[in-house]
Amino acid sequence: MSTLIAKLREAGLRPTRQRLALAALLLDGRHRHVSADSLTREILATGEQMALGTVYNTLNQFTEAGLLRRVTVHNEHSVFDTNTDHHHHFYDSENDQLFDIPAGLVQLAGLPDAPDGHSIDAVNVLIHISPEADRAAEDRAAESD
């Protein structure tokens, strides 16, 4: 617990009870992708009471402090990544699951210039995938048409 307190303090966050409870799940060195929903379920399972809004706010605070990285899957849905090193993702929307792609495995042949008055901050590749089993089912459905 004392390392978690130190991590939060180093990031400029006061180690409140709720932040510590979430830090215990998120800052243990494992690379995970969590949503506010999935993390709220997880925290309730530990016996801690925490509202979805509180979890979401804390995830945002951790992100702003550089402890997490936000992966925007689409406008209404963000996933928070405990791996803050530069990397890319596969996204399976059917299972709402992200898979890491090491940065070195994606090579871009070229990038357009940023629009006037803008500069490029980061390039994050999100490759949409779907489970193979569903592909097969779709093929069968197509054949029976």
- Residues forming the site for Zn ion (CB under 5 A): 81, 83, 100
Q: What distance separates the 2 farthest-apart alpha carbons in the chain? A: 62
Choose between 10 and 85: whose C-beta lies nearer to Zn ion. 85
Nearest approach, Cβ of residue 33 and Zn ion (Å): 6
CA-CA distance, 37 to 78, in Å (whole number)?
A: 10
Nearest approach, Cβ of residue 1 and Zn ion (Å): 26
Choose between 44 and 99: whose C-beta lies nearer to Zn ion. 99
Choose between 40 and 81: whose C-beta lies nearer to Zn ion. 81
Nearest approach, Cβ of residue 88 and Zn ion (Å): 8
Choose between 41 and 86: whose C-beta lies nearer to Zn ion. 86
Choose between 60 and 83: whose C-beta lies nearer to Zn ion. 83
Cβ neighbours of residue 27 under 8 Å, at least 6 residues apart? 4, 7, 67, 82
Nearest approach, Cβ of residue 123 and Zn ion (Å): 15
- Count of other CB atoms within 10 angstroms of residue 64: 13
Nearest approach, Cβ of residue 89 and Zn ion (Å): 6
Residue with tokens 């409870």: 21
Whole-number Cα distances in Å, 59 to 54, 55, 77, 111, 123 = 9, 6, 13, 31, 22
CA-CA distance, 132 to 129, in Å (whole number)?
A: 9
